[in-house]
Structure 1
Amino acid sequence: MHGGAIDLHTHTTHSDGSVGPADLVALALRNGAQAIAITDHDTVSGLAEGRRAAVSAGVEFIDGIEISAEYRPGTMHLLGYFIDPDSDELRSKLGDLKEGRERRNPEIARKLQALGMNVSYDEAAALAGNEIVGRPHFARVLVSKGYASSIQDAFDRYLAKGAPAYHEKIRLNPANAISLIHSAGGAAVLAHPYQLQLQSFEETEALVLSLCKLGLDGIEAIYSRHSREQRLLYSQIAERCGIVTTGGSDFHGSYKPDIDIVKGTGDLFVPYSVLEALKNRAARPRRTSTC
């Protein structure tokens, strides 16, 4: 019988987290996880290590990903669950996104230098090692050189969207992101909808309905930074659209120190029943949505 907690939104050192896949699984087990998904940004490179650790620990493991999608004025991310990491189409598109990210990084370094900071791309790459270079590595350089007091401070002042050293990356449009997840055998879920920056229930529902027509399978309502009211609102929208209410912590390790894996900020609980519903959605034939 499945009655434990799960976490369907976590990040490792393979994208913008501070903890490696095996250590992340160990932390999840310590916090009582019955199942765990690794959902790194635009990469599946950490999934094999995570799966090996989960099998060894007796924790159910879900191959996942978080794909950035084009959206204004806020931020749209789409989570994929039960994907095939070896899907040719997925691998090809992720390769394109990686190339775009690699072109972006020197631009971030250039903008930081224009602000008078002695920060280079090579310094960020040295911290990344074999991982994909990203903004967290630039943030670590900024902290080490005294330009920022913490990783979060570095993002808030310089690296976050709208900050002076931010540089836009290549993103898929929502239709292509959902289609890519489906092509890899997965279920597509709208992540942390509060980041869409919509002002009303009606606006949010209208957007979700439009995504449902593209095949959206769920909404991440049970989320660390969602208030009780937001969790209820997004759950109601999911129910009205006939899709799954999902959840996860968005764990990033020390880069988001107030968010613990499985537990979020302390009141997070995502039941196993969510995972079963997502499995059913991932197994559905992909034609048109019922929304």
Structure 2
Amino acid sequence: MTGKSSRFPEADLHCHTTSSDGLLTPRELVQAASKLGLKAVGITDHDTISGWNEAVAAGEELDVEILRGIELNTDWNGIEVHILGYEPSGESIPFQEKLRELREGRSNRIIKILGRLHDMNVKIAPEEIKAIAQGESIGRPHVAQVLVQRGYVETIKEAFDQYIGTGAPAYVPHLKLTPEEGINLIRTAGGVAVLAHPGINQLDHQILPWVKAGLQGIEVSHSDHTPEDEQHYRSLAKLYRLIMTGGSDFHGEECKPGVKLGGWGVSYEVTEEIRELAITSKR
């Protein structure tokens, strides 16, 4: 984590729950947001929208607005690029089918990772991963949690560094869309497509082509962004007339130490901006 927490965010629009690789259930996350005084949170689980209903119900009860979202892992020339989608229609059949395909790809990837770990005499059964993964979207963080529980490593970071991170012995690439495909998937479902944490990969030269492909926003405030990153991407957002979003990328302390819910984010007005743009997209 390299970023600096925003001072007074009203909305944390990048949060993960147990529906993918977060540690809090959708309801627990909304309860935590309510205690912090957040006005809105974005539920942006990987390749699944299964946490939406629980989060919305909790939000109505606790007076926290829920921005329904998704995070897609895409690939640009071997570099992982994450695309956030806000308020896509969960009723879109092509959207549902593609998410199902991506989740199946995730499950197949985990089996291959476990096979590589087995070859290294690190023997973990698929059932152990399923016991950890409460949602339908399984990922490497679940493998990392089991590696910690079994005593192979002490921390999740160590699990990625030694075993399953990019370039590590048990790393297996997974099925990915191109950024353009991810943007199109979100847009055709009536959602708002946003480039997540661009400071990580710094593919600034690709932002304009992605804008031409339908990108509508840039995540400016993020736990991995330095103050310089934030200032830089604010300038690019103004240049390309993009919505400036922000969020912590909260997963839970064990998964992402130091990344606190509500530590990064935006004003509530950004939530309204995104909703208005999504409504326009669906017309």
Establish whether TM, by shorter chain, passes 0.5. yes
Contact 2:20 2:136 in 1 (8 A): yes
Residue number in structure 2 paired with 1:137: 142
CA offset digits 1:212-259 (Å, max 9, x no partner)? 000100000111110100000011111101111110100001311211
Q: CA deviation at 1:100?
A: 1.1
Q: 1:59 to 1:285 in 2, by over 3 A?
A: closer
Q: Please give the alpha-carbon distance, in whole angstroms, between the structure 2 residues aligned to 1:249 and 1:110.
A: 33
Q: CA deviation at 1:128?
A: 2.3
Residue number in structure 1 paired with 2:260: 260
For the pair 1:121 / 2:130, whether they are aligned, the reply is no
Contact 1:74 1:197 in 2 (8 A): no
Q: CA deviation at 1:73?
A: 4.5
Q: CA deviation at 1:164?
A: 1.7
For the pair 1:225 / 2:230, whether they are aligned, the reply is no
Question: Which AA in structure 2 matches 1:86?
Answer: E
Contact 2:248 2:265 in 1 (8 A): no
Q: Normalising to structure 2: TM-score of the pair?
A: 0.92
Q: How many residues align?
A: 275
Q: Please give the alpha-carbon distance, in whole angstroms, between the structure 2 residues aligned to 1:114 and 1:4.
A: 46
CA offset digits 1:109-131 (Å, max 9, x no partner)? 01111222122222212322554
Matches within 5 A, 1:59-98: 59-98=64-103
Unaligned 5+ runs, structure 2: 1-7
Residue number in structure 1 paired with 2:206: 207
For the pair 1:161 / 2:157, whether they are aligned, the reply is no
For the pair 1:240 / 2:239, whether they are aligned, the reply is yes
SS across alignment from 2:246: strand
- Which has the larger displacement, 67-76 or 177-186? 67-76
Question: Which AA in structure 2 matches 1:279?
Answer: R
Q: Please give the alpha-carbon distance, in whole angstroms, between the structure 1 residues aligned to 2:76 and 2:135.
A: 30
Identity %: 41
Residue number in structure 2 paired with 1:281: 277
Q: CA deviation at 1:31?
A: 1.5
Q: 1:129 to 1:192 in 2, by over 3 A?
A: closer
Q: Normalising to structure 1: TM-score of the pair?
A: 0.89
Q: 1:242 to 1:197 in 2, by over 3 A?
A: closer
Unaligned 5+ runs, structure 1: 199-203, 287-291
Q: CA deviation at 1:273?
A: 2.1
Q: 1:177 to 1:96 in 2, by over 3 A?
A: same
Residue number in structure 1 paired with 2:3: none
Q: Which has the higher contact order (CA 8 A, sep 6+)?
A: 2
Q: CA deviation at 1:153?
A: 1.7
Question: Which AA in structure 2 matches 1:184?
Answer: A
Q: Please give the alpha-carbon distance, in whole angstroms, between the structure 1 residues aligned to 2:130 and 2:221.
A: 35
- Which has the larger displacement, 67-76 or 228-237? 67-76
CA offset digits 1:46-86 (Å, max 9, x no partner)? 11111111111111111100011112353201001112222
RMSD: 1.8
